[in-house]
């Protein structure tokens, strides 16, 4: 397949350019549900005149529906995108990026979606769609799935579906609340995932950041202890990855502590732990939820994060060495590759 693509690039390079352009048009329309020509042209950095010619062609092929409210993808177009996806990644270099990152960090699987989720809501939505697909493929009867919060995991939750209700699985929050928007709390996302799959859920009504005395007191409560035991028995963990300093400030950590972590090289945050460039933990929260020892023994750990500026944080968490699957976007993947090349 790769050899054929390379031959095509030499003989008819314009063929791949046209294919990429039409694929991206269909993909963007699919992510947007319904979109006007002007908005689509802006998203794809194309002129409206050029876009009109392409969308008219795609409509004639039965791949797009065009109506007064805008454009939407047809069922035929949706099926074509699904069939083309693996070939697209191979044709335009994403497969090589995936394999290089997978091999370097010793992961089971890496999936890269086109674009930059820091700049495009549609790319972030696609990150969530692919993340939900990976999670769905990993699910087994009687599973316990621990999930963290954040905007990217919210996209996963909102797009998670199963072909039949899975009443025996249970979603739980991997940690307590951060005081951020309720829509992005781990409790909310666990319940959303359960409702969308027909599963069960359990909630953890405690703050994420606790002092030693409060932590000891809460862990004496039988109800808290029971849900914590369920959380720590999870076979699957789904987590986002954040910038260490951004997350530390969001948690309202003491300024001296933030400065100390910064001086120790904290770059990334995941499941309440702060990692340096080498994947070493420089600070861990006193949390009622998942502990490092729980992550280490978890069977499937899925990290989902993307966006320009996230490359260092993603690489730091991957160097920790206990993720199995990484779902990211093209912008972050290229930053990760640049870091790998610096280490070479």
Per-residue pLDDT 10s for the chain (344 aa) are: 556 655 665 676 677 778 888 988 998 898 888 999 999 998 888 899 999 999 999 999 999 999 988 999 999 999 998 888 777 776 666 888 999 999 999 999 999 988 899 988 888 988 999 999 999 999 999 999 999 989 999 999 999 999 899 999 999 999 876 656 678 889 999 999 999 999 999 998 776 666 667 667 777 788 888 998 999 999 999 999 999 998 888 777 788 888 888 899 999 999 888 999 999 999 887 777 888 888 989 999 999 999 999 999 999 999 998 889 999 999 999 999 999 998 76
**Distance of alpha carbon 284 from alpha carbon 272, whole angstroms:** 6
124 and 266 inside one domain:
yes
CATH classification at residue 257 = 3.40.50.1360
**Distance of alpha carbon 256 from alpha carbon 248, whole angstroms:** 11
142 and 280 inside one domain:
yes
79 and 210 inside one domain:
no
8 and 127 inside one domain:
no
Asked which of 87, 111, 139 is the last residue of a domain, the reply is 87
**Distance of alpha carbon 344 from alpha carbon 335, whole angstroms:** 15
Task: Enter the tokens of residue 297.
Answer: 């023994």
182 and 245 inside one domain:
yes
Asked which of 72, 87, 102 is the last residue of a domain, the reply is 87
Residue among 240, 277, 241 nearest 262 (CA): 277
Asked which of 43, 68, 87 is the last residue of a domain, the reply is 87
Residue range of the domain that includes 318: 93-343
224 and 112 inside one domain:
yes
Tally of domains within the chain = 2
């Amino acid at each position: 397949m790769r050899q054929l693509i390379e031959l095509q690039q030499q003989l008819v390079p314009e063929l791949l350019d046209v294919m990429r352009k039409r694929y991206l048009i269909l993909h963007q329309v699919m992510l947007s549900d319904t979109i006007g020509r002007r908005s689509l042209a802006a998203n794809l950095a194309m002129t409206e005149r050029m876009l009109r010619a392409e969308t008219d062609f795609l409509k004639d092929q039965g791949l797009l529906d065009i109506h007064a409210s805008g454009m939407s993808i047809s069922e035929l177009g949706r099926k074509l995108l699904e069939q083309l996806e693996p070939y697209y990644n191979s044709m335009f270099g994403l497969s090589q990026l995936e394999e290089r990152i997978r091999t370097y960090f010793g992961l089971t699987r890496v999936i890269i979606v086109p674009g930059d989720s820091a700049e495009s809501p549609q790319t972030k939505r696609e990150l969530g769609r692919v993340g939900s697909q990976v999670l769905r493929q990993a699910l087994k009867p009687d599973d316990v799935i621990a999930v963290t919060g954040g905007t990217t995991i919210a996209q996963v939750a909102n797009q998670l579906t199963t072909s039949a209700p899975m009443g025996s699985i249970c979603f739980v929050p991997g940690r307590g609340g951060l005081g951020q928007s309720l829509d992005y709390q781990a409790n909310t996302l666990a319940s959303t995932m359960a409702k969308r799959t027909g599963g069960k859920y359990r909630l953890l009504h405690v703050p994420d950041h606790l002092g030693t005395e409060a932590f000891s007191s809460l862990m004496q409560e039988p109800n808290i202890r029971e849900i914590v035991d369920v959380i720590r028995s999870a076979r699957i963990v789904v987590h986002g990855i954040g910038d260490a300093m951004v997350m530390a400030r969001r948690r309202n950590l003491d300024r001296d502590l933030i400065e100390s972590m910064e001086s120790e090289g904290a770059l990334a945050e995941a499941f309440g732990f702060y990692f340096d460039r080498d994947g070493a933990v420089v600070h861990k929260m006193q949390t009622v939820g998942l502990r490092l020892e729980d992550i280490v023994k978890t069977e499937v750990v899925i990290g989902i994060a993307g966006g320009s500026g996230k490359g260092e944080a993603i690489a730091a968490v991957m160097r920790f060495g206990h993720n199995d699957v990484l779902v990211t976007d093209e912008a972050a993947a290229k930053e990760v590759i640049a870091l790998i090349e610096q280490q070479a």
